[in-house]
Amino acid sequence: MLTLADPTLLAIPIANQDEPFVDLAAYPDWQADLSRSQISSRSPHFLKARRAVAERLRDAARRLPDGLKLYVKEAYRPLARQQRSYDEHLVRLRRLRPELDEAARLREASLYVAPPAVAPHPTGAALDVTLMNAAGQELDMGCPFNADSEESNGACYTDAAGLSETARANRAVLIAAMTAAGFINYPSEWWHWSYGDRYWAAVTGAPAALYAAVDESLLESA
């Protein structure tokens, strides 16, 4: 699989479209997780995304079967928080996987935390999302949101083997809706979807990424 550690991603130009951010918590089309209980970011802008991303998410929401809703966990993430998460994960991998050389360690780290130079969340292009039912209960997706490969025994991979029929069916619903709306998935995280970032450009063949990373201070009025 193409990973976010692949050096070819850095060669993809960025069009840097000046597109506004919108607050996903303000939309009635899905449920937003305001608790932040499963994410490390404390940014007040964690549910903001580019307007085109929100429009595509609305399209995905309308493609779901009756009784199901998207449950959005995180969108924008400050670049400084991305850097800290990446550095912390590398430290953890050095402790848990001492047999890996540095190149392998960087690749392994990128399966769970994107290298800051190509990370989609700081650009407003990425969403972490799952499904919930009409009663407000999260569906069984095979492993918890944000569980890495070690914690989930590999079940975090979108195409993981050994999932229950229920979890695989639920993932298929999410995949169908998000893909039809123009998002691409990062294959080591079933919950991670993006539109307009460098990874999206690489997978879709777009000539350039649409969005550059944005400093958190610029989102105060968004």
Does 140 appear as a known binding residue?
no
Does 192 appear as a known binding residue?
yes
Does 89 appear as a known binding residue?
no
Name 89's Cβ contacts closer than 8 Å, sequence gap at least 6. Answer: 109, 112, 113
Annotated catalytic residue 216: no
Q: Please identify which of the residues 55, 108, 138, 189 carries the catalytic annotation.
A: 189
3-state DSSP: the chain helix, strand, coil percent, rounded to 5?
35, 15, 50
* CA nearest neighbour of 81 among 49, 119, 48, 53: 119
Residue tagged 């979890």 (tokens): 167
E-strand stretches of 67-197: 68-74, 126-133, 184-185, 192-194
Q: What are the residue numbers of the active site?
A: 189
Q: Residues annotated in the binding site for Zn(2+), as ranges?
A: 121, 128, 192
* Known binding positions: 121, 128, 192
